[in-house]
């Protein structure tokens, strides 16, 4: 047969450019057994846990400043922004679950196996910067909590907070369920503290319900819009996307289409419930701030220390400030626990490279603690709020580089098979990604561009100037 008569068959589309390496978090991979014939509730309990580790990132100290400022300045009006950002988070975390379950890769491994080596190194470096920034907010938040409760100087508080490395190392040797248990316990403490704060502050139910209804004045009022961007930009943490796609693989479920479909369903229920609890915490911070500060003439309260000093005097309840500080300390310490796991996942996933866990976590902590100690030592303790804001700006720089690959991978049938995103998920997913990226770009421009250039840019686009 002549060569011209041979019909060339199209090659099957290759899902990944590189073969997969080691599994994600190998020391705890598939260590939590899911009973195959158990009831719905027993299976749900078996899958419950990872969602709460992820939810920690949505209530870390970096979110407190924006929630406090939003409540103090505008009452309950920005509750709708918190709700919308939480719905975005639920969708993105669902996509992380699908990626981890369907491909057996976390997001970092997926990037490594898809992109070229220079792009992988670029993504790894900016992701490490984002984790360091997130750790910085968590370390400073915990240090502020220790200072408010025990009077410990912030510098020493930062150093003490770094000791969580030892706790994570110990808990991982006992089993992943122990890490989940301590995280859920700390989340419960945070929730209990804010239930008490809401009771003490006595907010109006009608005002709260009205606050969850979006209104045009959020866009029309530039100061309100700016704080809204801060809330949206600080809510979805890039390291959570890497974290969730990894820890969902700690469950030992059936490696069949039915088993994977069931795992996605139960893990999504776990994640959604946990993120709704995070919505309650963020909303509670804003509600308490609105009820206590907005109508009492303290509308400029934004710093965590100021809120602590004013809560008890304004409410007439001595324990109110103490509970606020306890919740802050629990929030910061909780976030550092999950941050160390995210750091390990990112380094191992992008580089397919393992180092001793204690050394990896020590490096992560030093990257966070050293800048905090230096800034506080040089500029004084009054700069902690600026330090928290700077960490959130740094986080926003990386977010688009995590959301874009997540959407791309979960949309591809060659990679996901039958679990590839349906059309409606693609539409909502890309819309969410677009909103997050645009808002974070705006936040970066407003932060770094000189005012003269910024004014020219806004005028050329026909946009009102930010206040």
Residue pLDDT, tens place only, 151-170: 888 888 888 877 766 676 67
* 378 or 268: which leads in pLDDT: 268
What share of residues in the chain are helix, strand, coil (percent, to 5)?
80, 0, 20
Rg, C-alpha atoms of the chain: 23
> How far apart (Å, rounded) are the C-alpha atoms in residues 262 and 271?
14
pLDDT band with cut points at 50, 70 and 90 for residue 12: very low
For residue 41, the model assigns a pLDDT of 93
Q: Which residue has the higher pLDDT, 36 or 235?
A: 36
Q: What is the pLDDT of residue 233?
A: 64
Class of domain 20-447: mainly alpha
Which of 4-18, 240-254, 329-343 holds the top average pLDDT? 240-254
The residue extents of the domains of the chain are 20-447
Instruction: List, in order, residues 6 or more apart from 389 with CB less than 8 Å away.
Output: 65
Strand (E) or helix (H) holding 32: strand 32-33
The winner for highest mean pLDDT among 173-177, 232-236, 258-262, 462-466 is: 258-262
Question: Measured between alpha carbons, how far is 325 from 144 in angstroms, rounded to an integer?
Answer: 8
Mean pLDDT of 41-62: 89
Structure tokens at 93: 């975390």
| Average pLDDT for 104-110 | 93
Name the band, by pLDDT with cuts 50, 70 and 90, for residue 241: very high
Number of Cβ within a 10 Å radius of residue 313 = 12
3-state secondary structure 249-311: HHEECCCCHHHHHHHHHHHHHHHHHHHHHHHHHHHHHHHHHHHHHHHHCCCCCCCHHHHHHHH
- Res 11: pLDDT: 36
8 Å CB contact between 78 and 70: yes
83 class by beta-carbon count within 10 Å (0-12 exposed, 13-18 middle, 19+ buried)? middle
pLDDT in tens, 52-97: 999 988 888 778 878 888 899 999 999 999 999 899 999 999 999 9
Q: How far out from the chain centre does Cα 349 lie?
A: 19
What tokens does 9 get?
């068959």
Average predicted confidence (pLDDT) for the chain: 84
How much of the chain exceeds pLDDT 90, in percent?
A: 40
3-state secondary structure of 33: strand
């Amino acid at each position: 047969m002549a060569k011209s008569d041979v019909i060339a068959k199209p090659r099957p589309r290759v899902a990944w450019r590189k073969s997969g390496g080691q599994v994600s978090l190998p020391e705890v991979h598939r260590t939590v057994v899911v009973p195959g014939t158990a009831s719905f509730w027993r299976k749900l309990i078996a899958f419950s846990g990872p969602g709460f580790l992820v939810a920690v990132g949505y209530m870390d100290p970096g979110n407190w400043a924006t929630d406090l400022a939003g409540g103090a300045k505008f009452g309950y009006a920005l509750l709708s922004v918190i709700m919308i950002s939480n719905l975005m988070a639920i969708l993105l975390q669902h996509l992380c679950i699908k990626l981890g379950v369907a491909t057996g890769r976390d997001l970092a491994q997926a990037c490594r196996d898809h992109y070229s080596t220079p792009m992988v190194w670029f993504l790894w470096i900016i992701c490490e910067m984002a984790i360091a920034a997130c750790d910085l907010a968590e370390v400073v938040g915990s240090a502020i909590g220790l200072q408010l409760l025990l009077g410990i100087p912030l510098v020493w508080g930062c150093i003490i907070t770094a000791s969580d490395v030892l706790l994570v190392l110990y808990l991982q040797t006992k089993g992943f369920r122990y890490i989940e248990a301590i995280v859920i316990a700390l989340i419960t403490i945070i929730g209990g503290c804010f239930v008490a704060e809401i009771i003490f502050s006595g907010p109006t139910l009608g005002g709260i319900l009205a606050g969850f209804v979006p209104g045009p004045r959020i866009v029309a009022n530039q100061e309100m819009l700016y704080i809204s961007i801060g809330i949206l930009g600080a809510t979805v943490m890039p390291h959570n996307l890497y974290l969730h796609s990894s820890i969902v693989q700690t469950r030992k479920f059936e490696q069949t289409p039915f088993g994977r479909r069931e795992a996605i369903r139960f893990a999504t229920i776990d994640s959604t419930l946990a993120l709704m609890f995070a919505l309650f915490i963020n909303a509670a911070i804003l509600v308490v701030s609105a009820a206590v500060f907005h109508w009492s003439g303290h509308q400029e309260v934004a710093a965590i220390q100021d809120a602590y000093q004013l809560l008890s005097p304004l409410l007439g309840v001595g324990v109110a400030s103490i509970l606020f500080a306890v919740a802050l300390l629990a929030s910061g310490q909780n976030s550092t626990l999950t941050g160390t796991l995210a750091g390990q996942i990112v380094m191992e996933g992008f580089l397919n490279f393992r180092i001793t866990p204690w050394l990896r976590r020590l490096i992560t902590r030093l990257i966070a603690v050293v800048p905090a100690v230096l800034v506080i030592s040089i500029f004084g303790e009054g700069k902690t709020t600026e330090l928290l804001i700077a960490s959130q700006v740094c986080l926003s720089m990386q977010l688009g580089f995590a959301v874009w690959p997540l959407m791309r991978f979960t949309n591809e049938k060659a990679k996901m098979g039958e679990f590839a995103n349906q059309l409606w998920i693609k539409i909502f997913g890309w819309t969410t990604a677009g909103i997050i990226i645009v808002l974070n770009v705006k936040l970066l421009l407003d932060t770094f561009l000189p005012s003269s250039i910024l004014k020219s840019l806004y005028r050329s686009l026909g946009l009102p100037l930010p206040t």
